[in-house]
Chains A and B, each alone.
Chain A
């Protein structure tokens, strides 16, 4: 199939970007979206033009590196997949596709379609961990009995790959789904209780400092999340935060 692509091109973080039209030919339905961009870049290189910069790593839907806003939706029109798992059979010959970087003040564009998502790392660093004594007498995690429902919910929260689709989808560019998943995966487990109060306060504070917007419960994040992270995590984080604030 042959496609018209409207791609955001931006030289660097300080430059003013713009949408540029490209024509790409010879695309097969079995190609992934990133493979389609590979084909485009080969065609651009053959013409002596600068290829389009975009993020990618594993191309297996697990690393969370690919981060494209495709036709107005993060990771495109499919559900429960990252951009690398979106296949071109979802499009038709002759289609026009808008391709933009994830947009948020806290996700500045590095170049073209690549954005800096280190704000997520800083939120994680603020409290998304448990302190474990590794001096030789570490208790095996499996030795601690955990309610099966809690274990399942903690695991589901921990499947968040931090791709940023929640921020990209939210009309407020809120990072509450990401932050709440990271808070929840520890709040549900006994290992996370020791630092529970400090954790939620520090992570929410960091989230606010990064300049993300406020959650207004539109639910767009949950629908666009490639891992299906539930809004229940945001309610849990709100409870944890209020509880921690009351403790001081």
Chain B
């Protein structure tokens, strides 16, 4: 079983499973954010539930953070190992002749997403933790929509979010469909699964962009 932890295939499967977990989280996050386009009350209600439910706060949130950290660290480890597998580079290398830009630049799109997560945590997670656990401010189930809308008053922040979501889409374009192959799923259903993954990688980031741009123009 030792090889199951250290082998190239085990690491590949671990990357795929953590990626699939994050894809599921993205869908859930997007669904909540999307409600803010239609109803401040519904958005506040769901956000308040997520912010106060002990299972979400003390079980799901740590699992999510672990999933994010694991995905990034494993990604960096694999990138370093892969770079060392070709110590002398080609004088001429036509990577675009046989592989998509997205598949060849997962580390780049991943780094942009990592930088975005820093901004996103600074914008929402840090103030939320300070509100609840440092400043011990009273519960206010109506504050979430206002906080969201306020963040997107800044054109710079809105632009940074839009750019980050574009890179998220590029990352998902290869990563989501690729995860099926990594876990050994390649059969007559693969074409449909890949189409679904490609559609997801467009629709979800585009939806996040719509939410950001909507609140920018709506303030």
Contact = CB atoms under 8 A, between A and B. Distances in A.
Interface string B1-30: 101100111111100000000000000000
A232 interface: yes
Interface in B133-160: none
A155 interface: no
Contacts of B103: 216-219
Given A214-B11, A217-B181, A238-B183, A105 B98 contact: no
Given A213-B86, A214-B81, A242-B13, A235 B100 contact: no
Contacts of B8: 174, 176, 204, 207-208, 212, 214-215
A175 to B, nearest CB: 9
A247 to B, nearest CB: 10
A149 to B, nearest CB: 11
Contacts of A173: 82, 85-86
B149 to A, nearest CB: 39
Contacts of A239: 184
Contact of B91 (A100, A204, A216): A100
Contact of A217 (B3, B94, B95, B174): B174
B132 interface: no
Contacts of A59: none
Given A103-B88, A205-B7, A214-B12, A172 B82 contact: yes
Contacts of B1: 245, 248
A72 B3 CA distance: 34
Interface in B71-129: 78, 81-82, 84-95, 97-100, 103-104, 106
A228 interface: no
Given A105-B84, A218-B99, A245 B94 contact: no
Contacts of A224: 98
A245 B92 contact: no
Given A214-B8, A215-B12, A245-B3, A73 B94 contact: yes
Nearest to A104: B86
Interface string B173-186: 01000100111111
B181 A69 contact: no
A31 interface: no
Contacts of A217: 103, 174, 178, 181-182
B85 A236 contact: no
A238 B184 contact: yes
Interface of A: 6, 8, 17, 19, 69, 71-73, 77, 98, 100, 103-106, 109, 169, 171-174, 176, 201, 204-205, 207-208, 211-220, 223-224, 231-232, 234-239, 241-242, 245, 248
The 4 A-B residue pairs with the shortest CB-CB distance, nearest first, are A72-B94, A213-B85, A235-B186, A239-B184
Given A176-B8, A213-B85, 8 more contacts: A17-B88, A71-B92, A73-B94, A213-B81, A215-B12, A218-B100, A218-B104, A237-B9
